[in-house]
Chains A and B, each alone.
Chain A
Amino acid sequence: DIVMTQSPDSLAVSLGERATINCKSSQSILYTSNNKNYLAWYQQKPRQPPKLLIYWASTRESGVPDRFTGSGSGTDFTLTISSLQAEDVAVYYCHQYYITPHTFGQGTKLEIK
């Protein structure tokens, strides 16, 4: 199984500041035939289901604010929130859909400092 490891487990950032969450996969999730990284990021707010933010490692889902940016390739990925807003408080998960089981990172809890 591909193990997804996020860092940090929790993060406190001031409003308007940058938040950075890292995700590392235990093996490459880059499919060389199409040059796509099979990596998504989800945001989960309390008592809500997860919401898709980013897919193919860097493609923003429709309607997601452009302060959310995904980057990385191969085994190392990053979700960056350029200017933290109050509504961004949530748990963020990375997720590989390269091969089953489609594993998730353990989650990163983002709070306001």
Chain B
Amino acid sequence: QVQMVESGGGLVNPGGSLRLSCAGSGFIFSDYYMSWIRQAPGKGLEWVSYISSSGSTIYYADSVRGRFTISRDNAKNSLHLQMNSLRADDTAVYYCARGVPAAMVDYWGQGTLVSVSS
């Protein structure tokens, strides 16, 4: 069955860095675009970043552009999010999500919690 498992979350100081990873299984990873979507505690969903199936097209939300970098390794069925210059308002559960080409996100991972605090 389709599964995405995130890892790499944790507690980090403001200004610090973290690298999130997502391992996909149960589907042909290279056929799908992937996104990171986050949810601050008690809040709604915020789209963070998109990477096309080949990795050639990338988009970021204004709130993270210049600080976060999305990447993927189709040979290893993995998705990554390098997060630098972290701020308190980056605190959230980060979800890895699979997207149908030119269409919607259809599956979400369980999420990994990132807490930015001193």
Contacts and interface: CB of A to CB of B under 8 A. Distances in A.
Interface stretch (A15-23, A71-79, A100-108): A100-108
B98 to A, nearest CB: 10
Interface string A72-106: 00000000000000000000010101001111111
A106 B44 contact: yes
What is the interface of chain A mostly: helix, strand, loop, or mixed?
A: loop
B59 interface: yes
Interface stretch (B10-18, B66-74, B76-84, B100-108): B100-108
B61 interface: yes
Contacts of B106: 52, 55, 61
B109 interface: yes
In this complex, the member of B45, B99, B103, B110 whose beta carbon has the largest number of chain A beta carbons within 10 angstroms is B45
Q: Is the interface of B mostly helix, strand, loop or mixed?
A: strand
Interface residues of A, number: 22
B104 A55 contact: yes
A40 interface: yes
Nearest to A93: B45
Interface in A19-60: 38, 40, 42, 44, 49-52, 55-56
The size bracket of the interface on B is 20 to 34
Given A100-B59, A103-B47, A106-B44, A49 B104 contact: no
Nearest to B35: A102
22 contacts: A42-B45, A49-B95, A49-B109, A49-B110, A50-B45, A50-B108, A52-B105, A52-B106, A93-B45, A95-B45, A95-B104, A97-B99, A97-B104, A97-B105, A100-B50, A100-B59, A102-B35, A104-B46, A105-B44, A106-B44, A107-B44, A107-B45
